Amino acid sequence: MTADEFAALCVKPETTLRQALAALDATARGVLMVLQPDGRLRRTLTDGDLRRAALDHASDTTPVSRLPEQSPLTLGQDAGPAAALALLDKHQIDHLPVVDPDGRPVDIILRRELTQRIWLSSPHLGAEETAFVEDAFKTNWIAPLGPHVDGFERELAAHVGIGHAAAVSSGTAAIHLALLLLGVKPGDTVFCSALTFVGSCNPILYCGARPVFIDSEPQTWNMSPAALERAFEWAKLEGRLPRCVIIVNLYGQSADMDALLPVCARHGVPVLEDAAESLGALYKGRASGTFGAIGVYSFNGNKIITTSGGGMLVAAGKAEMDRARKLATQAREPAAHYEHVEVGFNYRMSNVLAGIGRGQLRVLDERVTQRRRVFDTYARALADMPQVQWMPEPSGYRSTRWLTCFTLAGDHAQERRDRLLRSLERHSIEARPVWKPMQLQPLFEDAPFFAHAPDHDVSAGLFEGGVCLPSGSNLTDTQLDRVTEELRRALARIEDARAPA
């Protein structure tokens, strides 16, 4: 609800029963909050309260302060939706005012919202997935491998405009295989974007290699060319260049490839492009994921298209992708008796899931349009809130806006971010902080890190104030309204609290 709608729910003790009835009618939330002169909540008022007053022969002009005393049920500001629902159920009510430590209502929870959760990024099936899956059943191709796997690989490679693809069981498995294809061995170092999901860099550890983390730049939130340069200078001094550089394209947007690729090329180090979050994005007209020696996509449930779980490697050359497929099927040599000369993995995608993928690929472009529309809706609705700084989309980039993200400008960003997230969560709206960068993760506390500038850790700053909003391509206008209204109200409240008294 908007700030005005919330204000309309708050009435004074001198409000008459007739006025209260009219206000209940006009606001249509089934509840009013009667405030004391000092702003504290005196009681709530429902249709039932007014009906009981009428039965007691109270007149229309009776002030609501004359109704029998009632100590209102309320929720503290830190409580989550589970606590709210428990209280609503226990007392068989449908709304619950949220009060600050002084007892002043700052928010109200409606049962209706709690049963209609808005997700960060939920799967969105198209029209054709079922047909592909049914085909897999009809032809008894339930086993891993099969015609849909081949079809999905071919169609995805064609869609992004690259030679070859290999479908595997997850994006993480794809990155693991890509590192092996690029020759990463125990003791090697691998450079990797610092601001990312851990799936980008866990495979470095699987290979027994050492990650070195490279900060973000403010313009793209992706790998900083300046930090990459300094990391290479350091590596040269150490006498050990990295085996490869993992460049991550975050939240649907490519990194600045024209600045990053020449740095890697100058040192003769190949690039693994983690495009798990950027399938469908373009950089200077070319598909994200096709810039590195190997590119990787993910079809995890929250990605822009999904197979419920899956991943894909892409490369220009057939030989690499043949090798990826071999490593993904237990590195089986072409012999009837299962000959093995090297270690392999069970990483192939199943034919059933590839069928889902083929259907999803057909709606990818539509999903990009829908996600960009979600971003535009938020950007328009919050245009007058200067503290909200959207993830930039420089010219020449076309982000998918897989997730709509912003940072909160100003001091105490992390504390304000957390209050904002708690407020949204109370209304069963799933928003999240921006990824916690890897140099701040206990798992990687010993890994070297190169900041954007010597005293400027960009990714840590993005994490502190960064928020990802619900961004699914299947969000309805009503849901988007619900999010923007709660967001505006929560932001206003948080900024109010900071204003000098």
Ligand X SMILES: *Cc1c(COP(=O)(O)O)cnc(C)c1O
> In whole angstroms, how close is the CB of 174 to ligand X at the nearest point?
8
312 CB-side CA count, 13 A: 33
CA-to-CA distance for 102 and 90, rounded, in angstroms? 24
Site for ligand X in 184-203 (CB under 6 A): 196-197, 199-200
Q: Give the nearer residue to ligand X in terms of CB position, either 188 or 277.
A: 277
What are the C-alpha distances in Å from 75 to residues 48, 107, 382, 405? 21, 9, 28, 29
Q: Interface with ligand X includes 215 (CB under 6 A)?
A: no
Q: Give the nearer residue to ligand X in terms of CB position, either 67 or 468.
A: 468
Site string for ligand X, 110-139 (x = CB under 6 A): ------------------------------
Q: Give the nearer residue to ligand X in terms of CB position, either 195 or 487.
A: 195
> In whole angstroms, how close is the CB of 54 to ligand X at the nearest point?
58
Q: Give the nearer residue to ligand X in terms of CB position, either 113 or 274.
A: 274
| Interacting span for ligand X (CB under 6 A) from 111-119, 222-230, 271-279, 419-427 | 271-279
> In whole angstroms, how close is the CB of 214 to ligand X at the nearest point?
14
CA-based R_g, the chain, Å:
27
CA-to-CA distance for 472 and 400, rounded, in angstroms? 11
CA-to-CA distance for 453 and 65, rounded, in angstroms? 62
> In whole angstroms, how close is the CB of 172 to ligand X at the nearest point?
3
Q: Give the nearer residue to ligand X in terms of CB position, either 313 or 388.
A: 313
Compute how many residues bind ligand X; rule: CB under 6 A.
14
> In whole angstroms, how close is the CB of 308 to ligand X at the nearest point?
10
Q: Give the nearer residue to ligand X in terms of CB position, either 6 or 297.
A: 297
Q: Give the nearer residue to ligand X in terms of CB position, either 200 or 459.
A: 200
Among positions 49, 188, 273, 277, the unique one binding ligand X when judged by CB under 6 A = 277
Site for ligand X in 3-22 (CB under 6 A): none
CA-to-CA distance for 115 and 219, rounded, in angstroms? 39
Q: Give the nearer residue to ligand X in terms of CB position, either 300 or 479.
A: 300
Map residue 295 onto helix, strand or coil. strand
> In whole angstroms, how close is the CB of 170 to ligand X at the nearest point?
3
| Interacting span for ligand X (CB under 6 A) from 88-96, 101-109, 130-138, 273-281 | 273-281
Residue nearest ligand X by beta-carbon distance = 171
CA-to-CA distance for 482 and 431, rounded, in angstroms? 13
> In whole angstroms, how close is the CB of 92 to ligand X at the nearest point?
42
What is the three-state SS of 361-428? HCCHHHHHHHHHHHHHHHHHHCCCCCCEEECCCCCCEECCCCCEEEEECCCCHHHHHHHHHHHHHHCC
CA-to-CA distance for 225 and 426, rounded, in angstroms? 40
> In whole angstroms, how close is the CB of 298 to ligand X at the nearest point?
3
Which contiguous run of DSSP H or E holds residue 49? Answer: helix 47-55
Nearest to 278, CA basis, from 298, 310, 252: 252
> In whole angstroms, how close is the CB of 501 to ligand X at the nearest point?
43
> In whole angstroms, how close is the CB of 248 to ligand X at the nearest point?
5
CA-to-CA distance for 166 and 420, rounded, in angstroms? 41
> In whole angstroms, how close is the CB of 453 to ligand X at the nearest point?
24
Map residue 243 onto helix, strand or coil. coil
Among positions 31, 114, 160, 276, the unique one binding ligand X when judged by CB under 6 A = 276
> In whole angstroms, how close is the CB of 419 to ligand X at the nearest point?
26
Site for ligand X in 290-329 (CB under 6 A): 298, 300, 311
Q: Interface with ligand X includes 274 (CB under 6 A)?
A: yes
Q: In this structure, are residues 282 and 398 in contact, taking their beta carbons and an 8 Å threshold?
A: yes
Q: Give the nearer residue to ligand X in terms of CB position, either 226 or 248.
A: 248
Separation of first and last alpha carbons in the chain: 26
What is the three-state SS of 63-108? EHHHCCCCCCCCEECCCCHHHHHHHHHHCCCCEEEEECCCCCEEEE
- Residue 251 carries which side chain, given as an amino acid letter? Y
Among positions 79, 177, 248, 490, the unique one binding ligand X when judged by CB under 6 A = 248
Residues 107, 110, 111, 117, CA torsion sign: negative
Q: Interface with ligand X includes 220 (CB under 6 A)?
A: no
Site for ligand X in 164-183 (CB under 6 A): 170-172
Site string for ligand X, 228-247 (x = CB under 6 A): --------------------
Tell the burial category of 198 from Cβ atoms under 10 Å away from its Cβ (0-12, 13-18, 19+).
middle
Q: Give the nearer residue to ligand X in terms of CB position, either 184 or 248.
A: 248
| Helix 364-381, helix 477-498: angle, nearest 10 | 40
The contact set with ligand X (CB under 6 A) reads 170-172, 196-197, 199-200, 248, 274, 276-277, 298, 300, 311
